Amino acid sequence: MAHILFNSLLVILLALPAVTLLASPFKALRHLSPALLMIGLVAGAVAAARSLCHPCLIASDLSSITPLPFALALDRLSAYFLLLICVVGAPVALFSFSYVERHYTGRRRDWLWALLPLFLLSMVVVVTASTAFAFLFGWELMTLFSAGLILIDGDDSQRRQKLFTYLLMMHAGAAAVVGAFFMFAPHAAGLDFASIRVAAGLMPAGVRTAVFLLAFIGFGTKAGIVPLHVWLPKAHPIAPSPVSALMSGVMLKTAIYGFVRFGFDFLGTGPAWWGYLVLAAGALSGVLGVLYALAEHDIKRLLAYSSVENIGVIYLGLGAALVFTANHAPGWAALALMGALLHSLNHALFKSLLFLGAGALADATHTLDIEELGGLFNRMRTTGTLLLIACCSIAGLPLFNGFVGEWLTFQSFLGGATLAASAPAIVLPLMAGVLALIGGLAAACFVNLYGVAFLGRPRSVEAGDAVEVPLAMRAGMALLAAACVVIGIAPAIILRPLSAIVQDLIPGASLPEGALSIARFVPWLAAMVIAIMLGVALVRRVTRLTATWACGSPALNSRMQYTSTAFTSPIRKVFAQAYRPDRTLSVEPAEQPYFPASISYHSIRTVHFEQALYRPAVNTIVAAANRLRKLQTGNIQVYLLYMFLALVLLLLFMRLA
Amino acid sequence: MTYALDVLQLLLLLAAAPLVRGVVSCLKARLQNRHGASVWRPYSELRKLFSKEDLVPPTASPVFRLAPVVLFAATVAAAAFVPALHGSALLGATGDFILLAYLLALGRFFLILGATDGGSPFGGMGASREALVSTLAEAPLLLGLTAVAIAAHTATIAGMVRWTLAQQFFHLSAVHALAFAALALVAIAETGRVPVDNPATHLELTMIHEAMVLEYSGPSLAWIEWAGAIKLSAMMALLIALFMPWGMPVSFSVAGLVVAPVVFALKMAAVAAGLALLESGMAKLRMYLVPDFLGMACALSILAVVFTAMMR
C-alpha cells in the first residue's frame, strides 16, 4: 500500500511539468496541476506516516533499468523527513493555488507550476536516496530548481548577484558533501548506504574525522549555520513567497537530514569534540541569527535570519546528542536527538506558515516593510489569527509546538549533569542558558513583528485599505497553523514515532525516566488554561469604545506609535557589539543644529562576516585567478606545450607510483 | 487528600496575592514614615475595577481584549506549579520548572501584544522596555533553577523542595547562596519591582509595566493587576520553597495542616519585609543600567551552575 502511494508521489511529481505545459493552452485545465500536486503530496504524506508506524522497507532500485546506481529506500528517518516535506508541501501547494493565479500569468505561471513539483521531487529524492549517487543527484537538482524558481520573479542585476552568491555557496557546500561521500570510496564495497554504514565502522579515526568535518561544512552551508549563513538573507527574500516557504521550511531540513544520516547513522560514536564543535556552531547561529532578525524590518529578511536562529537551536540538540554518545549515555543522546528532529519538523511548520503569511501581507498591502504596516488584524482577521499562532509557536511558548522541541532539548541539557566526565557536565547545563537567551530574544523578535504589523494603527494607506486574502491562501495557512497547535497540545502523536526513529539510530537507547512526561501532561495543562480563560471571559464586562487619551493634544496618529526600529532599539543597544552599526546623521544647515531645515539619518548594520571572512577569501581567489591568467596567452603553440607537459608529468607520475 | 491540599494552596496563593501587595506597600509606607493605606486596599481596588466599564480604543483589535485573559490564565497555571503549604504542587512533572518559566513568558508575550495594540506611544514604550527586561531575565532564571536541579539530582520543583527539606540549613553550600541571589535578582526584574521598575510611578522616563497597561481600564485592568499580584506571590513562594522550605510538612498530618499556613504566612511576611526594605533603600536604576543588573544575575547563575556541576 505505502509502496504504491510513494511511487505515485514520484510519478506525479515527475509528470507534472509535462502536464502543466500540455494543459497550459486550455483555460479549463488550469487547476489541474495544483490539484494533482496536492493529491501527490497527500499520497506521499500517507505513505510516510504508514512506513513511520509500521516499518516496512520500501525500496525502488532503478539501477537495473538505468546504467546509474540510482536507488531509493524509505527507512524510519527517511520516512520522517518525507512526512515533513509532504506535510509542509501540501498546504504550500494549496496556498499557491490562489497566490500564483493572482501574481503570475502566462509563461511565468507555467514555469512556476513546472518547477515547483521538480523542486519538491529533488528534495524527496535527497531524503529517500539509498545510494550516494541518488543523494548527490537530488542534492544538486535541489539547488538548481530552487535557483530557477527564484528567477521567475525577474533577473535584474541585483537579483542575479544575490543568486550568484546562493549558487556559489551551495556548490561549495555540495563539493564538501561529495568529498564526504568519496572519503568512503576506498573503504566501502560500493557507495550505497548499506556498504557505507559497514565501511564507516572499519575506517581509521583520522578518515572518520575528515568525513565528519566535510559533512559538517557541507551540510552546514545548506542549513545556514553562522558563518556560512550569508546566502540565506539574500536568497530567501527574492523568491516568490511559496518558494521561500519551501526553501526555508523544507530545503534547510534536508541538510539536517544529511547531517543526521552522516553523524548518527553512518559514523555513530565519535570523539566528544565533534559534539562541542556542533554545539558551538549552534550557539553562535542561534544567538547571532536572532539578533540579526531583531534588527530587520523587512519581513522576509527577518524570517531568513530567524531560520538561522532555529537551525542553531536544532544544532544545539544535535551537538548535545553527539556529546552524549561520546560519553556513552545513549538514552540522553536519544532525547537530545529527538529534540533536534522535532524542532526540525516544528520549524518547517511555523516558518513556512510565516513565509506564506508574508506572501499574504505582500498580496494585501504590496509591501514587506513592517514599518509600513500596522492595524492589519482588524482588516485580515483570519490571516491575523493564523500568524498569531505562528508567532507564538516560533517564540517557543507553551501550548504551541515550538515549545515541545525546545523543552526536549532543555531536558537533555539538564541530563548533562548526570555524566561522569566533568567537561560535559558543566558545558551542557550552561547551554540551557544559551537556549533560554535565544528563546527570550526570539519572543521579543516576534512580538515586535506581530505587534507592529498587525496591531495598533495602520502606518500607511495600503495597510489601511488592506483586504483579506482569498480562501485557498487562508486554507493553506490554516492547515499549517492547525498542525502547530495539535503538536503543541498533544505532542504524544509525534513523540512516539520519534522515539522509534532515534532508537533505530542510536543503538541501546532507552529514554531517561520521565523524559516524555510532557506528552501526558500538556493536554491537561492546555485544558486548565483554556478553562480559566473561558471562566475569565464569562465574567460580566461592559465595553465602551472610546479614543485613547492623547495627553490633551487633538488626537493620536500613527506617526506617534512605536515603530519596529524603536521597539527593538533597547535590545540593539545592549547587544551593540553584535551589530556594529554604521550611522550617518546629516543636519542641514550644519551651523544651526537646533533649527534644522532637514535631517537625514542613515544606519546600516555592517555585515562583518562578509567583511572579515568573505572579503579576504574572495580577494585571494581573485588575485590567484589573475595570476593564473598569465598562463592563458592565446597562443596555440603554448597550449600544445601545456598539453605535452601534462602528458609527460602524468606518465612520470604513473611510472613512479 | 494531598490533592485537596494542592488545590487549597493554589487557591490560597490566588486569594492572598493582593494582600501580599498590600502588605509590601504598607510596610514601605511605614519605612518612609508615612501612615500608608490599609493592607486590604488592593482588594477594594480590584472590586472597584471589576464594577467599572472597559474602555477600548476604537482602533484596537480583539487581541487587546484577549491579552489580559491569557495573561491571567497563564499566570494562574504557572502558580499551580509552586509548592506553598507542603512539598508538592497541583501540577508537576519532569522539567516542570522550564514550563513554569515559559508560562510566565506566555502571559508576558500577550501583555506586550496588548500594549502595542492600544496604538498610543506609551504602550509601545512600555512594551519595548518590557521586551528588553524579560529577554535578559530568561537566561538567569533558567540557569538558577538548573543549578538547584543539578544539586538536587531531580528536574521537578517538588523534588528540589524535598531535597532541600532533607538538608540541614548549615549544610547548604555556597551554590545555594549563588543560585538564591541570582533568582532573587531575576524575581525583582520579573515582577517589576524597584530597582528595575517602579510599580508606583507614572513618569514616562521610568515606567515599564505601568506604561504597558496604561490603556487598560475596568475589568481588563483588574485581571492584569491580579495576575501581577499572583506573579509576585508565586515568585516569593517559589524562592521560599526552593531555598527555605523548612517548616513544610513532609507527610500529611492534621498538625501539619494547622502549622503549615502559619509558617508560610510568616515566611511570606519576612520576604515582603525584605522587599519593602530594599525598595525603600534603593533608587530605581536608569533604564540602561538594568542590563548590568541582570548581567550580574546571569553571572551569579552561571557560577552557580559551574560550581554545582563541579561539586557533584
Average pLDDT over residues A569-592: 83
Radius of gyration of chain A (CA): 26
DSSP A248: I
Q: Tell me the domain boundaries of chain B.
A: 2-311
Distance CA A88, CA A481 (A): 11
A547 pLDDT tier (thresholds 50, 70, 90): confident
Residue A510 phi, psi (nearest 5)? -115, 130
Lowest-confidence segment of A1-10, A422-431, B207-216 by average pLDDT: A1-10
- The answer, yes or no, to whether the previous bond of B249 is cis (omega within 30 of 0) is no
A57 pLDDT tier (thresholds 50, 70, 90): low
| Chain A residues close to B190, C-beta within 8 Å | none
Q: Residue A602 above 80 pLDDT?
A: no
Using a pLDDT cut of 70, give the percent of chain A over it: 99
Q: What is the pLDDT of residue B89?
A: 86
Q: What is the pLDDT of residue A25?
A: 83
Cβ-based neighbour number of residue A418 at 10 Å: 18
Nearest one of A52, A59, A49, A43 to A77, comparing CA atoms = A52
pLDDT in tens, A86-111: 999 999 999 999 999 899 988 888 89
Query: What letter represents residue B221's amino acid?
Result: L
pLDDT in tens, A365-418: 999 999 999 899 999 999 999 999 999 999 999 999 999 999 999 999 999 988
Q: What is the pLDDT of residue A56?
A: 67
B3 pLDDT tier (thresholds 50, 70, 90): confident
Nearest CB among A411, A444, A561 relative to B135 is that of A444
| Chain A residues close to B117, C-beta within 8 Å | 377, 451, 455-456
How wide is the angle at C-alpha A250 spanned by C-alphas A247 and A253, nearest 5°?
115
Residues with Cβ < 8 Å from A165, sequence gap 6 or more?
A: A230, A231, A234, A235
- Closest residue in A to B69 (Cα) is A533
DSSP B90: S
Judged by CB atoms closer than 8 Å, whether chains meet at A439 and B129 is answered as no
Cβ-in-10-Å burial (0-12, 13-18, 19+) of A432 comes to: buried
Instruction: Work out the minimum CA distance from B74 to partner chain A, whole angstroms.
Output: 6
Query: Cell 544529511 sits at which residue?
Result: A258
A605 pLDDT tier (thresholds 50, 70, 90): low
A147 pLDDT tier (thresholds 50, 70, 90): very high
Q: What is the pLDDT of residue A606?
A: 58
Residue A518 near residue A506, CB atoms below 8 Å: no
A607 pLDDT tier (thresholds 50, 70, 90): low
Judged by CB atoms closer than 8 Å, whether chains meet at B135 and A440 is answered as yes
Q: What is the pLDDT of residue A337?
A: 96
Using a pLDDT cut of 90, give the percent of chain A over it: 66
Nearest CB among A378, A439, A530 relative to B138 is that of A439
Q: What ipTM is given for this predicted complex?
A: 0.96
pLDDT in tens, A456-470: 999 999 999 999 999
Nearest CB among A388, A397, A533 relative to B102 is that of A397
Question: Buried (b) or exposed (e) across B296-305, using 16+ Cβ within 10 A?
Answer: ebbebbbbbb
Radius of gyration of chain B (CA): 19
Q: Tell me the domain boundaries of chain A.
A: 269-533+561-574, 608-656
Instruction: Work out the minimum CA distance from B63 to partner chain A, whole angstroms.
Output: 8
Average pLDDT, chain A: 91
- Closest residue in A to B227 (Cα) is A536
Distance CA A201, CA A189 (A): 13
Judged by CB atoms closer than 8 Å, whether chains meet at B132 and A570 is answered as yes
Judged by CB atoms closer than 8 Å, whether chains meet at B127 and A574 is answered as no
Nearest CB among B59, B69, B219 relative to A533 is that of B69
Selected residue of B69, B102, B186 to mutate for chain A interface (largest A Cβ count, 10 A)? B102
Query: Cell 506609535 sits at which residue?
Result: A561
A424 pLDDT tier (thresholds 50, 70, 90): very high
Cβ-in-10-Å burial (0-12, 13-18, 19+) of A517 comes to: middle
For chain A, the straight-line distance linking the first and the last C-alpha, in angstroms and rounded, comes to 54
Count CA atoms closer than 13 A to A624's CA, side-chain side: 6
A634 pLDDT tier (thresholds 50, 70, 90): confident
Higher pLDDT, A518 or A332: A332
A65 pLDDT tier (thresholds 50, 70, 90): confident
